[in-house]
Structure 1
Amino acid sequence: MMKINRNSLHFKIILVIVSVLIVFILFFIEDLRLTKEAMERMEQAKVESAIQSNIPSIADAIYFGFEKPIEDIGNMLLAENSNILAILIKTSSGKKYLFKKGKNPFKEKMDNANYKTFYIEKDNKKLGEVEIVYKLILSRQHFNEYRKSAFMFAILIILSIIIAMRYLYKRIKSLNILAEKLRNFDLHNIKMIESPDNYYEVKHITHAVNKLLERINDYARNLKTVNKTLLRNKKRLMDAQRIAQMASWTYWPHTKQVEVSREFYRILEIDARIKNLSIKTILNSIHSDDRNFFINTLKASIDKGSRFDFIHKVVTSRGKIKYLHTEGRVRKFKDAPTEVMGVSMDVTEEIEAKLKAEHMAFHDPLTNLLNRRAFLEKIDFLTKLAKRHKQMLAVLFLDLDNFKFVNDSYGHSVGDELLIKVANILKESIRETDLIARIGGDEFVIVLTDVKDADSAEQIGKNILNLITRNFVIKHHSCTVTASLGIALYPNDATEPETLLQYADAAMYEAKKLGKNRYQFFNSSIRLRLNEHLQIIEEIKEALKTEDQIRLYFQPQIDLSTGKVRGAEVLTRWMHPKKGLIFPNSYIPVIESSSLMAEYDRYVLKMSFKQLYKWSKEKRVKWTLGINLSAQQFNDKSLVDNLKELLKQYPIDPSLIELEITETLQMEDVETSIRMLHEIKNLGFKVSIDDFGTGYSSLSYLKRLPFDVIKIDREFIKDIHQDSEDIIIVKLMIQIAKTLEKEVVAEGPDMEEHIKILEALSCDYAQGYYYSKAIEAKEFEAYAESKK
């Protein structure tokens, strides 16, 4: 006989059927009980109802003293109700009337008989009582017949269940046979399964199983193909990992085993013949600086079942240090870590490049000294340290004298080499605890820590100047170098780093004013002058917020061939609300040394565009305006965008604007200058080279520069009437301009002889006091009208 498993469908069906059968039997027994009680209650009610209906008649007979009606009623009840065995009527006066069938049941109690007493009342007065004895005959007969029928029905139900169980057993047995066939199925020799019987359900399941087997067979064939593809992909992955320098690895915490890819061997330079690397070997390859961090991070990720992502150093088997970017995740089952999967990418080149970039972000690329940003961070720390230990610091601001001459005369490569040599001298002249930085072109700052007094700082300053003042031979060029040095003391002069640097810078400029090649301590007179400069800067800031303080003045430019006004150069004056009119030489040098110069230039540009737009609309004239660009503005990346915005705001002919740059300005970075000038030219503006002849430009550079006008500096014009060499120089400049098809403006003619000579030399335009000084807009309009 087949063994039945408690989890099988067969067992559960039997369990359900037995449960239903038990419920049915219990229901059947309860139904018999309830039916019997119902039948008995009905028959009992019938008997008692017959007695109850005759009580009033008996009461009337007793009340009036009639005995005959009482006897008639008693006999009638006894005759008409086969259930009643005896009736006993008692009156309150003590009389009794007995009616019975056979033995007197009132004397001897009868089994299976019911006794019942009814009270006789009239007008709420008790007259007697009726006692009856009766048996339930009919209900027992009917109940016995009902019980026989119910038992027959129950037997029929049980037989049906047995037959159903037999049927289900056979069907389930067929399913078990099918399961046994599947259990013994040979995957290497797939054959279709025959149905154990012909029942639809079993055949349907067998058909579905065969379909599944067909799919499994197809899947097996596909799996072989996939396995071949996986092998190929694995090889490609290994190649990709080698190219990307990425190694994969898996670690099983419960067994402490680790499996790594081939690239892992290559990255760590481990002999590929070594198999089954241990976790200890891998951990030993982690750099000692990062080993604890690596272990703790990995352990925390395993405990939490979280991802991990970090960069660490490793030491290869050949002793080479590499940087790896390791990331991965932990797999868990029932809150327990099962395996750790990760990848480690060789990012050595990237990290070294990043470290180099960070180094460059805080170091001067030429001299490898700290730059301004790093210097300010370091000096902030040093001042706090000095404050804690109550020490003195000295800030030495050093600037090479006439360094621009070296750049212009011998080229930037010689200038760079000179800066490197000076930087090396400075590094050798200070202590390890001191600080040195290059914060500008030829500007160096030194912080002397734990200075005893001002005399100590002075002695070190003298020593530095003596070491630098020498003749350097660089690329066969002899460069004699001196320097100017400014000294500010902490906490005597200031306590804030920026202020100390500013004071040392101001002292350095004072040393240059006093003749260069010397040192100068910051003092009260420098402080006063510096405060005046700061006040000027603040007042200029306020002045730029209005349009009535910084005013435009226009110095006319005359066409020498016609005598008419060509246009003007834009100059500025400051109408101070308290001091009155102030000329540029009193405030321009101050704002040139601050970041305010760019804002000042933008203001002048905007007001010039506005004025030219007004003239174009009201006067319908085409006067040109020459507008100077400072070094700050020319190097401002937003210059071109600013010009575009001004053209939108004031739609004028851009060819009427000549943007003037000094020769020395554009020569400092030729390639950048050329790109910037081409962008300006593409917008339609003209470009002029101001102060031409004062720099050291080569003709090859001039040929490449996209300019339109050359302005000859007044230094070559002022003595032209009495110096033949100046005539020759000016003539050559004009000839160069004509050869390059450029226009020429001579600056500074202030007498008629100058004009005649310039006309003879075919100069195009002149601008100087001979014609007019710089005048306001209304005066310029009148002057231009007079020259028509």
Structure 2
Amino acid sequence: MPSYYKISIRIVIIYILMSLTWLFFSDWLLLEHFKNLPVWLLHAKGCFFILTTGIIFYFVIMKRLKETFANEHQYRLILENATELIAIIDNQGILKYASPSFKSTLGYSQKETIGTPVYNFIDFKTLPESASRLKSRINKELEGDFVSILKHKNGRCVIVEGKGIPISETNGKVEQLLVLAYDITERKNSEEKMEYMAYHDSLTGLPNRNYFRTSFNRAIEQAKEHNQKMSVIFIDLDRFKAVNDTLGHSIGDDLLIKIAETLKSCIYENDVISRQGGDEFIILLNNSSYEETSQIATNILQALSTPFLLSGHEVYITPSLGISMFPRDGEDVETLIKNADMAMYDAKNKGKNNYQFYCNHLASTNFRKILLESKLRKALQKNALTLHYQPKVNLHLNKVTGFEALLRWNDPDVGMIPPSEFIPISEETGLIVQIGNWVLREACRQTKRWQTEGNPPLCICVNISVRQFLDDGFLESVKLILEETKLDPEHLNLEITESIAMSDVEKTITILTELKQLGVLISLDDFGTGYSSLSYLSKLPLDFVKIDQSFVRDLHLNEENKNIVRAIIQVAHSLKKIVIAEGVETKEQLDFLRQKKCDHVQGYYYSKPVPAEQAIEFLMNDLQR
């Protein structure tokens, strides 16, 4: 029973008891003292009763009203200052009361809300069922705990969470519903943002590794169920690090964003593209044949052949693509990605800017790489690497003035392994710095030994890799090795490639300047094959410029190569640099270079790279031919 019924009944009972008590007591009292009761006294008795009960009820009602008004004031303050939405809805779904918070939360005033159907504020577009069905049972939906999406006056969606409490029932039927709800839009948006960030790359917005693998597993199950083919394209950007280091990480990030947009434009809507990290992307092509995959790979190569304009720079980038097919190349995520990755490295080995499909021989190639890596580490520990030396001949003096130290590896199990195979492995594994320091130390030690044996002063040339040159401890390593071997710095010639020189021009100049201050000679190797400009060439503190053997090899067949060699010699001499031509194999090549005033040559015409014992024998022989 509601409390107001109880209070009303209590007041009536009190009044009846007081009235009966007064009636019997007053009549008995008057009859005891007055035998002949005058009429006016009876009237006075009634007036006294009315006055007395009126005063009593005045104080009772006043006390109750004070409590009621105080409670009402408290409740009104709570309602007016509550941030939650508070509403009373009748059984027709009409708002009978709406708190002022409707204005701040939904943009509607109380005047605009009271008397309005509650479903006018619900965004039915976001609900799975029809508006008409929901309208018919709106109160039932709001009873108990609920989450709903409401419409703000400006059109945006507001997500609310709340509870509906029946406050008026007749014969078990809810007549009115008290609804308490609060805005959880910001919380929901934060949750959705966190979930999005957990499965998407923060830079490009593409699905990340976790999302991709989940989608991939689902796609494999569907492909098995419907007997469909799929393909995986593993993409790695060529020379991205050079762009990043030269133009800055900000432009590098912008480039990745542009590339992501370009890649998305090359695939279909049901395909999945993911950034795996760094400059690697993976594309999953659903229900795609060999021919369709080839076409998409071709489209990607064409799309990325166009330069990107970033902060005033025209940036060219090329990709290497590796492709594996489901189910031919694997039936699980790990195998397909691994095989696509191997195919991508195959594309890099075949000149980059192309695509290659996975084939079985790549697995054996990959096994060989793992085997060679293990053996290379052991060879380094056991000092099992060797150096061969190729003489460098001064054409003006017609005598040997130095040697180039070249690394060789003869494994007892595998046999002779070419540098073109084990050097890339050492670069991938990071062993190149350790190996490079060993080569430098061994070359300096051997040169000093030759000198102490009474041979003419010789200059030893040592190739320096990019990673070794840019290593923070490179300069200290050179100083330490020169001190250990006691070789004069002027007898050491360090060879760097154009790619080293251009990777970070300012840092390169700083390092080369310090090397020059030590007295070390510097050569620019493979000149003409890279992308350095003459302005940079003039800034670098170089002593020698080496003409790449690719230009020397076809001198007698290619007039264009003759012009290139002639131009390199002229430019280098104009910049006061000494010119060395490598790869000289014939007398015709030698005669041409001598005629064009080339300073030094080396190549098989004189000698192939040989062990130290044979190298010193060659030094003793007559060089006239």
Shorter-chain TM-score bucket reads: 0.5 to 0.7
**Which residue of the other structure, out of 186, 197, 209, is the alignment partner of 1:379?**
209
In the alignment, what sits opposite 1:436?
Answer: 274
In 2: Cα distance, 1:645 partner to 1:773 partner: 31
The structural deviation recorded for 1:681 is 2.3
In the alignment, what sits opposite 1:596?
Answer: 431
What secondary structure does 1:585 align onto? helix
**Which residue of the other structure, out of 422, 425, 429, is the alignment partner of 2:259?**
422
For the pair 1:396 / 2:396, whether they are aligned, the reply is no
Question: For the structure 1 residues 753 and 452, does the alpha-carbon distance in structure 2 shift closer, same or farther, using more than 3 Å as the test?
Answer: closer
Question: For the structure 1 residues 635 and 545, does the alpha-carbon distance in structure 2 shift closer, same or farther, using more than 3 Å as the test?
Answer: same
In the alignment, what sits opposite 2:91?
Answer: none
What secondary structure does 2:362 align onto? helix
For the pair 1:472 / 2:302, whether they are aligned, the reply is no
| Residue correspondence of structure 1 range 720-739 to structure 2 within 5 A | 720-721=555-556, 723-739=558-574
The structural deviation recorded for 1:753 is 3.0
In the alignment, what sits opposite 1:5?
Answer: none
The structural deviation recorded for 1:382 is 6.0
In the alignment, what sits opposite 1:9?
Answer: none
**What amino acid does structure 1 have at the position aligned with 2:497?**
T
In the alignment, what sits opposite 1:510?
Answer: 346
**Which residue of the other structure, out of 745, 748, 755, is the alignment partner of 2:580?**
745
In 2: Cα distance, 1:747 partner to 1:566 partner: 15
In 2: Cα distance, 1:422 partner to 1:564 partner: 54
Report if the CA contact (8 A) 2:322-2:358 is conserved. yes
**Which residue of the other structure, out of 360, 375, 390, is the alignment partner of 1:539?**
375
The structural deviation recorded for 1:425 is 1.8
The structural deviation recorded for 1:730 is 2.5
Report if the CA contact (8 A) 2:232-2:323 is conserved. yes
**Structure 1 residues 213-271: Cα deviation after superposition (integer angstroms, max 9, x where no partner):** xxxxxxxxxxxxxxxxxxxxxxxxxxxxxxxxxxxxxxxxxxxxxxxxxxxxxxxxxxx
Question: For the structure 1 residues 482 and 596, does the alpha-carbon distance in structure 2 shift closer, same or farther, using more than 3 Å as the test?
Answer: closer
Report if the CA contact (8 A) 1:745-1:763 is conserved. yes
What secondary structure does 1:762 align onto? coil
In 2: Cα distance, 1:386 partner to 1:416 partner: 26
What secondary structure does 1:697 align onto? coil
In 1: Cα distance, 2:299 partner to 2:559 partner: 43
**What amino acid does structure 2 have at the position aligned with 1:705?**
L
Question: For the structure 1 residues 787 and 467, does the alpha-carbon distance in structure 2 shift closer, same or farther, using more than 3 Å as the test?
Answer: closer
The structural deviation recorded for 1:598 is 2.6
Report if the CA contact (8 A) 1:555-1:768 is conserved. yes
**Which residue of the other structure, out of 759, 771, 779, is the alignment partner of 2:606?**
771
The structural deviation recorded for 1:504 is 2.7
In the alignment, what sits opposite 2:394?
Answer: 559
In the alignment, what sits opposite 2:482?
Answer: 647
In 2: Cα distance, 1:433 partner to 1:564 partner: 65
| Residue correspondence of structure 1 range 83-162 to structure 2 within 5 A | none
In 2: Cα distance, 1:395 partner to 1:595 partner: 29
Report if the CA contact (8 A) 1:660-1:688 is conserved. yes
| Residue correspondence of structure 1 range 704-715 to structure 2 within 5 A | 704-715=539-550
| Residue correspondence of structure 1 range 571-650 to structure 2 within 5 A | 571-619=406-454, 621-650=456-485
Question: For the structure 1 residues 647 and 515, does the alpha-carbon distance in structure 2 shift closer, same or farther, using more than 3 Å as the test?
Answer: closer
**What amino acid does structure 2 have at the position aligned with 1:425?**
T
In 2: Cα distance, 1:712 partner to 1:419 partner: 36
| Residue correspondence of structure 1 range 61-72 to structure 2 within 5 A | none
In 2: Cα distance, 1:458 partner to 1:591 partner: 37
In 2: Cα distance, 1:460 partner to 1:750 partner: 45
Identity of aligned residues (%): 36
The structural deviation recorded for 1:545 is 1.3
**Which residue of the other structure, out of 532, 540, 546, is the alignment partner of 1:697?**
532
**What amino acid does structure 1 have at the position aligned with 2:431?**
L
In the alignment, what sits opposite 1:172?
Answer: none
Report if the CA contact (8 A) 1:395-1:489 is conserved. yes
The structural deviation recorded for 1:562 is 1.7
Matched residue count:
412
The structural deviation recorded for 1:725 is 4.3
Question: For the structure 1 residues 617 and 473, does the alpha-carbon distance in structure 2 shift closer, same or farther, using more than 3 Å as the test?
Answer: closer
Question: For the structure 1 residues 641 and 683, does the alpha-carbon distance in structure 2 shift closer, same or farther, using more than 3 Å as the test?
Answer: same
What secondary structure does 1:775 align onto? coil
Question: For the structure 1 residues 763 and 363, does the alpha-carbon distance in structure 2 shift closer, same or farther, using more than 3 Å as the test?
Answer: farther
**Structure 1 residues 166-203: Cα deviation after superposition (integer angstroms, max 9, x where no partner):** xxxxxxxxxxxxxxxxxxxxxxxxxxxxxxxxxxxxxx
In 1: Cα distance, 2:540 partner to 2:606 partner: 31
**What amino acid does structure 1 have at the position aligned with 2:209?**
I
Question: For the structure 1 residues 672 and 439, does the alpha-carbon distance in structure 2 shift closer, same or farther, using more than 3 Å as the test?
Answer: farther
In the alignment, what sits opposite 1:760?
Answer: 595
Report if the CA contact (8 A) 2:433-2:467 is conserved. yes
Report if the CA contact (8 A) 2:321-2:355 is conserved. yes
The structural deviation recorded for 1:385 is 9.1
TM-score by length of 1: 0.45
Report if the CA contact (8 A) 1:745-1:765 is conserved. yes
Structure possessing the higher radius of gyration over alpha carbons: 1
In 2: Cα distance, 1:404 partner to 1:642 partner: 25
In 1: Cα distance, 2:470 partner to 2:412 partner: 32
In 2: Cα distance, 1:597 partner to 1:494 partner: 36
Report if the CA contact (8 A) 1:563-1:787 is conserved. no
In 2: Cα distance, 1:385 partner to 1:658 partner: 55
The structural deviation recorded for 1:419 is 5.5
Report if the CA contact (8 A) 2:301-2:354 is conserved. no
Question: For the structure 1 residues 402 and 669, does the alpha-carbon distance in structure 2 shift closer, same or farther, using more than 3 Å as the test?
Answer: closer
In 2: Cα distance, 1:732 partner to 1:446 partner: 44
| Residue correspondence of structure 1 range 28-427 to structure 2 within 5 A | 368-369=203-204, 379=209, 383=213, 396-399=233-236, 420-427=257-264
In 1: Cα distance, 2:205 partner to 2:388 partner: 44
In 1: Cα distance, 2:526 partner to 2:280 partner: 30
The structural deviation recorded for 1:514 is 7.3
Question: For the structure 1 residues 412 and 648, does the alpha-carbon distance in structure 2 shift closer, same or farther, using more than 3 Å as the test?
Answer: same
Query: Tell me, which stretches of 5 or more residues in structure 1 are unaligned?
Result: 1-358
In 2: Cα distance, 1:580 partner to 1:538 partner: 15
Specify which structure has the bigger relative contact order, considering alpha-carbon pairs within 8 angstroms and separated by 6 or more residues: 2
What secondary structure does 1:690 align onto? strand
What secondary structure does 1:622 align onto? coil
In 1: Cα distance, 2:471 partner to 2:596 partner: 38
